[in-house]
Amino acid sequence: MPEARPLTGILLMLGAVLCFAALDASSKHLAQIFPVPMLVWARYSIHLALMLLFFAATGRLHLATTARPRQQIVRGLTLVVTSLCGMAGFAALPLAEATALLFVAPLIVVVLAHWLLAERVTPGRWLAVIAGFSGALLIARPGGGLTLHGVLLMTLAATAYAVYQIQTRHLSTSENALTLLFYTALAGTAAMTLTLPLYWGGPRPDTLQALQIASLGILGGGGHLLLIHAFRHAQATTLSPITFVQLIWATLFGWLFYDHLPDAPAFAGIAVIAASSLSIALAERSRQATRTPRAADTDTAC
């Protein structure tokens, strides 16, 4: 697909990652008050409602059908695991550090793709992976002030997200990006609704809190819609590096709303992870220069 309006695509992608960073910041606050599974249920339920409204308004209800329902459901459930671990991890860790640990996922993708898909990995990519994991160790170092269970939760979230990205690669060769997005919301809503009796409870939200909870689905669904529209104007290889702006937003929101800035070693770890993941994204850009871009490969949020 030619880059018809790359600047428009970049601006839309910047809006998408802003939505995802705001989603993480909001969920961190709400998870201190309400059960994380309830927040995940609200996030997916509202996302599904937005998708159904979008399909109905644009006459695209046919995109709710798929020839590979089992794979779609498994992929959606993998993202549910990412969301549960990620929201719990954001509740336990500072925003910038937690977001950086989640950005280890592209590095894990390289390792899993080599082991599971027999993809060839160049020495340069292995070096980027090793450097990225070293950056994660700088963030999670002993004495750094991060809780062990928070680090473990974000590690699980990053691993599940890496598996989700590999599943997306596999399905995106034959499925429409909107179909993938719909089944992500459907699987998440179904799974969290069926288990609702296990976790429903806690304080009743007031009006402001109810609006904040509703914003989780709006920010998640809206961010993904902005992302899809971004890929209608620019290639995936152009937009992939823009996702790392989310690290800047996470640092800014952590400072503004939670009065926290990473210390020097954590900043260094965040920079190393960003540089390592960005180098892999740029290498992928070069590799895919002559291939058709796949918007569905670029989901960036829980």
pLDDT per position as a tens digit, 174-228 = 888 888 889 999 999 999 999 888 887 778 899 999 999 999 999 988 888 888 7
Check: pTM over 0.95? Answer yes or no.
no
pLDDT per position as a tens digit, 105-125 = 888 988 888 887 777 878 888
Lowest mean pLDDT across 17-21, 126-130, 234-238: 234-238
Angle, alpha carbons 93-21-131 (nearest 5°): 65
pLDDT per position as a tens digit, 161-173 = 999 988 888 887 7
Sign of CA dihedral 58, 64, 67, 68: positive
Are 253 and 21 in contact by the 8 Å Cβ rule? The answer is: yes
> Can you tell me the mean pLDDT for 11-31?
94
Angle, alpha carbons 245-296-242 (nearest 5°): 15
- Alpha-carbon distances, residue 90 vs 39, 137, 198, 264 (angstroms): 13, 18, 22, 20
pLDDT band at 18 (very low <50, low <70, confident <90, very high): very high
> Can you tell me the mean pLDDT for 150-162?
95
pLDDT per position as a tens digit, 234-293 = 776 677 778 889 999 999 999 999 999 999 999 999 999 988 888 887 776 666 554 544
Q: Where are the domains of the chain?
A: 6-298
pLDDT per position as a tens digit, 49-67 = 988 988 888 888 888 888 8
